Structure 1
Amino acid sequence: MPLAQIEILTLAFPGNRFNGQILPELAKLVEDGTITIIDGLFVGVDPNGDIGYTEFDELGVGEEAAALSELVDRFDELISAEDVLEIAAGLEPNSSAAVLVFEHTWQLPLRDAIVGSGGVLLDSVRIPGRVVDDVLAAVAELDN
């Protein structure tokens, strides 16, 4: 069966301050069947500007690493070396990013119903909340 829509989130942590606080929320989404994490990695830029990365399935020991690895359903290796370089280019020295690739599994029943009724997905657009907030603020400013 084909996958539902896939999304890639890149979460930056200036100063390498990843502390695992996002893990309980990710766990809820996975346990509820809202998403299935299918790939992920950490990208880091050290103080000298050198780039390194670690796939989630290659994380070392530790409570946070183990908790994150347990959330990943499979590793499809969807993130390329070019992707890592592009992500790292957006990071300041001494910072890191977590890249999460997940399937919107909540969409599967809807997708099946659409296909079953002879429909096809014509388009799908996701707009980051920050962009929506900026646009609404600009519209409000024009109205004043």
Structure 2
Amino acid sequence: MSPFTYGPVELHLVGFGTGDPDPQAVGALRELVDSSLLRLLDLVVVSRSESGELTTQEPGEGPQDWGLGDLEPAETGLTGDEDIEELAASLEPGTSGLVVAFELVYARTLAQRLAAAGGSVLRTERIPAPVVNELLDAAAKE
């Protein structure tokens, strides 16, 4: 079996309210990419006007760099229009965000080793960090 080029990919919509993408959030993404925990595959800036119209912008396409600077996706175009529209459906009028596709680099090794052993991940489910922390905090107080 040849090595996997990519591991599992996750799509996220990161919201920023009424302003541009927050430099701290972009910095956090940059740190994870620089540490090689994530590989940034695609990134699209999305904005919903007050009238509800959705606009998209790839980094480097428009006059603003959105604080992204040299944060370059490895595979632009991976996130399709349907993906963007589905994720951005929850974007409120007058707000903006980033649609981010990233590879979980550590999971590539796991996926490859499972496949080599004749196994596969059949299903995954993510529990959001705020929910996990809230549950564990409540359990610790009992």
Identical positions, percent: 26
For 1:1-41, what per-residue CA distance to the aligned partner results, in whole angstroms no more than 9, with x for missing partners?
35211101111111124232122222221122211111121
Q: Equivalent residue for 1:10?
A: 13
Task: Give 1:136 shift.
Answer: 5.8
Q: Equivalent residue for 1:56?
A: 59
Distance 2:122 2:53 in 1: 42
- Match of 1:28, as an amino acid? E
> Greater helix share, 1 or 2?
1
Q: What TM-score does the superposition give when structure 2 sets the normalisation length? A: 0.76
5+ residue gaps in structure 2? none
5+ residue gaps in structure 1? none
Q: What TM-score does the superposition give when structure 1 sets the normalisation length? A: 0.75
Matched, 1:123 2:126: no
Matched, 1:31 2:48: no
Taking a change above 3 Å as real, the CA distance of residues 66 and 127 of structure 1, as seen in their structure-2 partners, is same
Cα root mean square deviation, aligned: 2.7
Q: Equivalences for 1:15-94 in 2 at 5 Å?
A: 15-56=18-59, 58-60=61-63, 62=65, 64-68=67-71, 70=72, 72-80=73-81, 82-94=82-94
Distance 1:66 1:126 in 2: 30
Distance 2:108 2:86 in 1: 31
Give aligned pairs, total: 138
Distance 1:12 1:92 in 2: 9
Q: Say which SS state the counterpart of residue 66 (structure 1) adopts.
A: coil
Taking a change above 3 Å as real, the CA distance of residues 105 and 57 of structure 1, as seen in their structure-2 partners, is farther
Task: Give 1:135 shift.
Answer: 5.6
Matched, 1:111 2:111: yes
